Structure 1
């Protein structure tokens, strides 16, 4: 072990990807573990892994599938320079081995077991237990899985178990048992859903995650400080090495060596006054823009700091620096104070960002934060090449000049800019945006004075512009009528331009520049004919008005319930091109399917929610993000907007449970309850309404808003949508009308549902759904224990006996069954001396009992 080590991770270049790496400051002892399924160890593989271990300064190596039958073979083929074998199992197709660095102190072998062909090697490094596990794919976990674990323990290996928690598409029995074991033993999964898979199938060219890492939790219900990095491909193995680092670490952000403006410390008043004095010497002409830019930069350098930091720690201040120096001088007692000061900043920053986060109206800060948490996805833009038709250039220019002469002058759009217009535009300008190629930041203009704004009004009037594309620059043209990028006027003008679309047999739906035509007929051939004729009509219109539709992005789809025609494809042409038939088209963010069951869309949504839940799960493992308030705020900002997007369309789908399962997981993470907890408890403990009620409320609001505006064309289709021939069809307008007729109210319905649950319980009837329950401000371990007592579901002898984790359900006091209720209110050894209602009101006496409770529920 290396205490007080400051380590710099070597940068690992992923295949076809950017560098990944960062520096960290270590607080206390650290332990670096490398785990890999080597798929048959050999001398060449041993030499290759030796180089990786030296570069990464690894302490412990856990290898699976050595394919050695005895110790002699392992010593011959698996000799790793600088490392010694601590424990191993042997098998011609399986086998595992655990190595330790030669100069590592306090290393000893605890046990080596091979039971049911599951290979386990336990090694102790000081107080820490490292368990190396391998389970063959065809073997089932025993009832106890891996048995009980104590703290501190790290469980690593190849588990060959499928579960959505580690990015498998579905669960199998082994995955369910492994998750149940982790929940029972409070084992925390160290996993990042954005990282690459640990196994890349050579046959299917897909990535999976059979190699996992679990760590034990502290008495405060916080997991061991651990990070996990999936490394590059390993030769002659489909598995990738995994680097696991145990120990407290403070991440250092490597700043790009590029000077930046510190706008928070800028003297904006002095900046504006000096700029107003000097701007009068520059005429407001296009040729003087560089002079204007130089003046801005010169004055900004006088009134605001500019530079960069090589290493940056978020929240690190003078107090943190002093505490860190004390720690490095030998005062290890200040480590907790240092971490607490950083945690307060992180928590405040996260809560502030999450409060403003909304995926329906996402902001720059929201997406920036998500990219930092989940990794950036880089996209490549294809180069655009334009080949003008020289033969018609002169004719088009002449015709364009004639049309301009015929146009009436619009004084409103061509009038000179006023100072008021410039002021309004600057108020709408978002600060914090990146500067353009000229280095002009929005803050420079937002904080300018009245003289500068008057100068800008003259500068922008009759301004000239040119277009630069593919190393070619056009001539300068005067811009009379300008339009800001992203302005709502652009799609509005486009809709005005195509307002005279010709009549078609099909119904037309338009959103901005996306156009969909829909028709209905019993005969598939007749449907094809109608759509083709309508496309001919639209094609002639587009050609007449010089509009060119993108036929490569135009798709055809057919929706029906005839399973005999499930594979049938529409044969439709548009402008001479055959349209692609898409069985699962995506329209306005909704993935449709042939039967309009929304199965594919809900499966995709559930996968997104699983990724968001991984972020919530990671927050549960931090000392700054594990509070109930932080988790609830994060869930409402990260998870629920994704889960409820267009919910008023698909809420009656038979596959909606796929989304509800993920939302239940979210609420379990917030409340700290276990999987066996009845789902009616989850909304109450998190103060988040049940998903079905939230969707029904959104549907009622949507239909009420539509009904108030009788001019909306959708009103013409709502009455027809309520008429159904099959009972399996459940149109949402009919559901909405039924809810409105029944005077649906979400809170009233929620209270009635909870009253039915608490009908025979005088204690539960005191809970008011929708209100933040008491205890929300407690530490994570106390909050989890409190909710497990409230729900009577947790780790007790009776439950452990049912799960095969304990031989007897008896309590230490001699009672036949040790239930959660027995522990909290009956047991003479552990019970709380007070009324049961105190678990809802949480007086100081009950909180003190929770803190002194020796059992881990």
Structure 2
């Protein structure tokens, strides 16, 4: 297809796409390629007649995914197998080859008892690989605002094979799941993850600096020109936030340095807690990450005060009594740390310093929280 092809010529476009054999050559015309050369309109026209499926289809650029929500695993597998069969027939009809190496399935649910169960989804006689956390070569914690865990990647036209990634399924299971009711940032500190609001601001700062620097950037004008007056107080447009950050944050302060400083300031101004007495820098990490998971879990439940303490189990309806084995009417984290004759650790500070005595206590204690 020549570079000066007129997309307004509907008849010519119909001819080009009549048999789905359109090839797009890169600069030297050496090899056919789809990525980076064909405008979105051609791609959309090429796949405009994707067959109807029970699953919902999602797309971002040339990546597509189907997602299905069902109350049981069996119903989900039946639906996904049927829809993958429909789509496989469509691809075969238009000379597109399925790449089984990049085709995966995934399930998202809250049923912890079946956390290791895998979806049984086939295409033809081959079973799709199941992934607990699908990855398309990107870190899903950053980048796209709505990254899909898997999808169809219609990466090229014949003779290059077209790759299809995943058909993720979603099942909903109603189970009794105790929730963390503390609304502080203690759990984020233990996980080493900054609050979402600060991470969003850091991403806005990086984007604003890039847009301000390059006049070709799509947000350059919105970043460099005064923001129009906002009529609704509930609205927080990008241009206003970006300009305020560019004016208030020094240029020589990196995004990561600003995030760390802002997180520390937020942590210091939050309400008092046990963790704040011993953790001064929330982004500096906490000791104990090298421990086995069951010990690390118990340690952090004591640190945060959120866990399977007898008082919590009674509150959740999982126990008839909130009493501790030592005779205390209510077993809480505070009681265990400061006054329990059976389970008390060597010291409160030791839960954060993790000296040899505390590590030995965690290994030997019969406390189950």
TM-score, length basis structure 1:
0.25
Post-superposition shift, 1:754?
Answer: 1.4
Determine helix, strand or coil for the equivalent of 1:786.
helix
User: Which of 165, 181, 201 is matched with 1:696 structurally?
Assistant: 201
- The answer to whether the 8 A contact 2:211-2:217 is kept is yes
Partner of 1:741: 247
Q: Quick one: structure 1 residues 847 and 612, their matched pair in 2 at CA, closer, same or farther if it must change by over 3 Å?
A: farther
Q: How does 1:828-843 map to 2 (within 5 A)?
A: 828-833=341-346, 835-843=347-355
Q: How does 1:85-124 map to 2 (within 5 A)?
A: none
Q: Deviations over 1:153-206 (max 9, x none)?
A: xxxxxxxxxxxxxxxxxxxxxxxxxxxxxxxxxxxxxxxxxxxxxxxxxxxxxx
User: Which of 695, 702, 706 is matched with 2:211 structurally?
Assistant: 706
Aligned Cα root-mean-square deviation (Å): 4.5
**1:751 & 1:821 partners in 2: Cα distance?**
25
**1:710 & 1:733 partners in 2: Cα distance?**
15
**2:287 & 2:274 partners in 1: Cα distance?**
19
Q: How does 1:150-549 map to 2 (within 5 A)?
A: 386=19, 481-486=28-33, 491=37, 513-514=39-40
1:775 aligns with 2:288: yes
- The answer to whether the 8 A contact 2:208-2:242 is kept is yes
Post-superposition shift, 1:697?
Answer: 0.9
**1:549 & 1:809 partners in 2: Cα distance?**
61
Partner of 1:800: 313
Q: Quick one: structure 1 residues 770 and 548, their matched pair in 2 at CA, closer, same or farther if it must change by over 3 Å?
A: closer
Determine helix, strand or coil for the equivalent of 2:282.
coil
**1:820 & 1:761 partners in 2: Cα distance?**
11
**1:780 & 1:790 partners in 2: Cα distance?**
15
User: Which of 627, 630, 642 is matched with 2:140 structurally?
Assistant: 642
- The answer to whether the 8 A contact 1:796-1:818 is kept is yes
- The answer to whether the 8 A contact 1:674-1:794 is kept is no
Partner of 1:816: 329
**1:589 & 1:775 partners in 2: Cα distance?**
43
Q: Deviations over 1:640-697 (max 9, x none)?
A: 943544449xxxxxxxxxxxxxxxxxxxxxxxx9633545122211112222222221
Q: Which runs of 5+ in 2 are unaligned?
A: 1-16, 22-26, 50-56, 64-105, 118-131, 147-177, 250-254
Determine helix, strand or coil for the equivalent of 1:836.
coil
Partner of 2:190: 685
Post-superposition shift, 1:707?
Answer: 0.6
Q: Quick one: structure 1 residues 757 and 619, their matched pair in 2 at CA, closer, same or farther if it must change by over 3 Å?
A: farther
- The answer to whether the 8 A contact 1:687-1:770 is kept is yes
Q: How does 1:34-113 map to 2 (within 5 A)?
A: none
**2:213 & 2:235 partners in 1: Cα distance?**
26
- The answer to whether the 8 A contact 1:810-1:818 is kept is yes
Q: Quick one: structure 1 residues 481 and 737, their matched pair in 2 at CA, closer, same or farther if it must change by over 3 Å?
A: closer
Please identify the structure whose Cα radius of gyration is greater.
1
**1:683 & 1:585 partners in 2: Cα distance?**
31
Q: Which has the higher contact order (CA 8 A, sep 6+)?
A: 2
Q: Deviations over 1:550-604 (max 9, x none)?
A: 49959xxxxxxxxxxxxxxxxxxxxxxxxxxxxx9977599xxxxxxxxxxxxxx
1:716 aligns with 2:237: no
- The answer to whether the 8 A contact 1:799-1:809 is kept is yes
Post-superposition shift, 1:797?
Answer: 2.0
**2:47 & 2:133 partners in 1: Cα distance?**
39
- The answer to whether the 8 A contact 1:763-1:837 is kept is no
Q: Deviations over 1:3-30 (max 9, x none)?
A: xxxxxxxxxxxxxxxxxxxxxxxxxxxx
**2:269 & 2:245 partners in 1: Cα distance?**
20
Question: Counting strand residues as a fraction of each chain, which structure ranks higher?
Answer: 1
Q: Quick one: structure 1 residues 788 and 712, their matched pair in 2 at CA, closer, same or farther if it must change by over 3 Å?
A: closer
Determine helix, strand or coil for the equivalent of 1:770.
helix
Post-superposition shift, 1:755?
Answer: 1.3
**2:265 & 2:114 partners in 1: Cα distance?**
33
Post-superposition shift, 1:730?
Answer: 2.4
Partner of 1:279: none
- The answer to whether the 8 A contact 1:838-1:846 is kept is yes
Post-superposition shift, 1:822?
Answer: 1.1
**2:108 & 2:116 partners in 1: Cα distance?**
13
**2:44 & 2:273 partners in 1: Cα distance?**
65
- The answer to whether the 8 A contact 1:759-1:765 is kept is no
- The answer to whether the 8 A contact 1:763-1:836 is kept is no
Aligned residues: 246
1:786 aligns with 2:299: yes
**2:114 & 2:287 partners in 1: Cα distance?**
21
Q: Quick one: structure 1 residues 842 and 585, their matched pair in 2 at CA, closer, same or farther if it must change by over 3 Å?
A: closer
**1:779 & 1:514 partners in 2: Cα distance?**
49
Post-superposition shift, 1:790?
Answer: 0.3
Q: Which runs of 5+ in 1 are unaligned?
A: 1-383, 388-468, 470-479, 492-511, 516-546, 555-583, 591-610, 623-633, 649-672
**1:589 & 1:764 partners in 2: Cα distance?**
51
Q: Quick one: structure 1 residues 792 and 620, their matched pair in 2 at CA, closer, same or farther if it must change by over 3 Å?
A: farther
**2:136 & 2:271 partners in 1: Cα distance?**
31
Post-superposition shift, 1:639?
Answer: 12
Q: How does 1:593-742 map to 2 (within 5 A)?
A: 641-642=139-140, 644-647=142-145, 675-712=180-217, 714-718=219-223, 719=225, 722-742=228-248
- The answer to whether the 8 A contact 1:758-1:764 is kept is no
TM-score, length basis structure 2:
0.54
